[in-house]
Amino acid sequence: MEIKVANKRRPISLAWRVTVLVGIATTLVFLTFNWIIVRSLEHHFAEQDAGELQAVANAVVKTMQAQGMQGNKEVMTQQLAAIAVGHHGISYSVLKRSGTPVYVSSGPDLGPVFAGKKSSTHIREERLVIWSADGKSYRGGSLEVPADTIQAGEPYLVAVAMDIDFHLNFLDMFKRILWWATLLVALIALVVAWFAVQWGHRPIRKVSKDIRAIRSSQLDVRLSPTDVPIELEELAVSFNDMIGRIEDGFRKLANFSADIAHELRTPVTNLTTQTQVALSQVRTADEYREVLYSNLEEFDRMSLMISDMLFLAQTENDPRNLRLSNTDVTALIQGLFDYFGVLAEDASITLTLTGKAKPIWADREMILRAISNILSNAIRYSSPGSSVIVSLIQDEKYTSITIENPGDQISEVDLSKLFDRFFRADPSRQRKSGAGLGLAIVKSIIEAHGGTVKATSQNGWNKFQINLPVIHPAN
Ligand SMILES: Nc1ncnc2c1ncn2[C@@H]1O[C@H](COP(=O)(O)OP(=O)(O)OP(=O)(O)O)[C@@H](O)[C@H]1O
Ligand SMILES: [Mg+2]
């Protein structure tokens, strides 16, 4: 057996595909999830910080308003310093708009808060600045105090900042936990996906085991489509169909060989017997000639049978091997009437053609052979003096050719076997009939053309009807 190996790389395994895709999907989902959580936490902390910074700034501004910038500087400084008491890690400074510092609490340099940021009268979350100094991180904001509210000659600026290391540390830890959780979940998803694929493939492996167990001696085995998962049902059904066709082919082949042996045995036995009888004593030249003529007849029959069998094997092996052309059925039948004219006249049988058909797209020689086989049967198997009628009917989808002749009723059982190879309906008329291959050839020709042929026997008429689909050459 030849196994065709395509020169292509094998597609990636299903287990790999599913596992990788599930892995990517889970990781992406978790990363998005992480990003959203971290973002909202950061926002939450910023909001909280802004609130606290504003509270401190308010206290500073209140003190400045209460004291007035013209008042006692020392008292002011004391009161400003007192604000820091309730707030841990907070530093703040007050300076004139022109840049002269008025009060600077302990803590980092608040320069970054003023740099590049335009002040407003409130500390806003979106204006907050984050920076690091001396290994610590700070978040700060500033606001402007109008001159008239603090009895001053010019506006003042207040900057407030807080140590946010605690928040940042918390966020870092939280992010680390999230990363590990993502990794863990992705790993679990991968393992589960891998197991799911293996588990999901179990029915496929079972089906393949069942298929492997099928031998040519037990082609009657079928898969049960209801015992496989719904996704594999179609596969099981298709497989059953295929094995059914193979079984059919096997059976036909086996029967065919038996039939051939059987069919060839009779003529060969006849030939042997005749030759033995001829040789048993001395004969005259005429007697030898007679034996040879009789042998020749037998040889002719065998040769016809062999060529019929060869023809059948060829059409059935490759039904696509048709030489299609535009074929005028009416002319074809007229030609056959001429051909069989003498034979029909001898048996006083009249041949009649009725109806019309459009030309068909078919293999002319084969269609000729099919119709000729049925017509010769009709002439051969109808009683002298009767008539054989061929009628053509054309509709949109089919061209139908019916050939009918009066004759003995063919039983239902025989009708079903009529198209089998080597079948002859009436053993008593064996001498009249041929090898029994004529109708088998008709069937294989018509089926190769995508058509159907059926036989009926009613009211003393035997009718053979061929239906050929109308095919347009372009298709
Ligand atoms: N028109 C018919 N009327 C009655 N019986 C028929 C008719 N056509 C076929 N049969 C029966 O069907 C059998 C099978 O026909 P088929 O044409 O296949 O074989 P055959 O005529 O016996 O042999 P072959 O055609 O190979 O020379 C015939 O032997 C005959 O008994
Ligand atoms: Mg025949």
H helices present in 92-164, as ranges: 111-114
Give me the chain's average pLDDT, please. Answer: 87
Domain residue spans of the chain: 15-174, 225-313, 323-469
pLDDT, one tens digit per residue, over 113-152 is: 877 556 677 887 778 889 988 889 999 998 888 888 888 8
Q: Is 433 in the pocket of ligand 1 (CB under 6 A)?
A: yes
Q: Give 456 Cα–ligand 1 centroid separation in angstroms.
A: 13
Question: Is 90 exceeded by the pLDDT of residue 173?
Answer: yes
Q: Give 440 Cα–ligand 2 centroid separation in angstroms.
A: 9
Q: Give 439 Cα–ligand 2 centroid separation in angstroms.
A: 6
Q: For domain 323-469, give its CATH number from 3.40.50.300, 3.30.565.10, 3.30.930.10, 3.40.50.10490.
A: 3.30.565.10
Q: Which range (42-46, 71-75, 196-200, 241-245) has the least confidence?
A: 71-75
| pLDDT at res. 213 | 86
Do the Cβ atoms of 145 and 157 come closer than 8 Å? Answer: yes
Q: Is 335 in the pocket of ligand 1 (CB under 6 A)?
A: no
Q: Is 407 in the pocket of ligand 1 (CB under 6 A)?
A: yes
What does pTM read for this prediction?
A: 0.56
User: Residue 80: which H helix or E strand, with range?
Assistant: helix 73-83
- Ligand in nearest proximity to the CA of 429: 1
Q: Give 378 Cα–ligand 2 centroid separation in angstroms.
A: 8
| pLDDT at res. 301 | 83
- Ligand in nearest proximity to the CA of 418: 1
Q: Is 208 helix (H, G, I), strand (E, B) or coil?
A: helix
Give, using CA atoms, the residue closest to atom 4 of ligand 1.
Answer: 381
**Better pLDDT: 465 or 385:** 465
The CATH architecture of the domain made up of 15-174 is 2-Layer Sandwich (3.30)
Q: Bridge-partner residues for 160, per DSSP?
A: 92, 141
Give, using CA atoms, the residue closest to atom 9 of ligand 1.
Answer: 377
- Ligand in nearest proximity to the CA of 305: 1
pLDDT, one tens digit per residue, over 413-462 is: 888 889 988 888 766 554 566 788 889 889 988 988 999 999 999 998 99
Is 225-313 CATH 1.10.10? no
Question: Is 60 exceeded by the pLDDT of residue 4?
Answer: no
Give, using CA atoms, the residue closest to atom 3 of ligand 1.
Answer: 381
| pLDDT at res. 475 | 57
Ligand 1 atom at minimum distance from 464 CA: 1
Reported as a pLDDT band with limits 50, 70 and 90, residue 7 is low
Highest mean pLDDT among 88-102, 326-340, 416-430: 326-340
Residue 313 Cα distances to 309, 454, 475, angstroms: 6, 21, 27
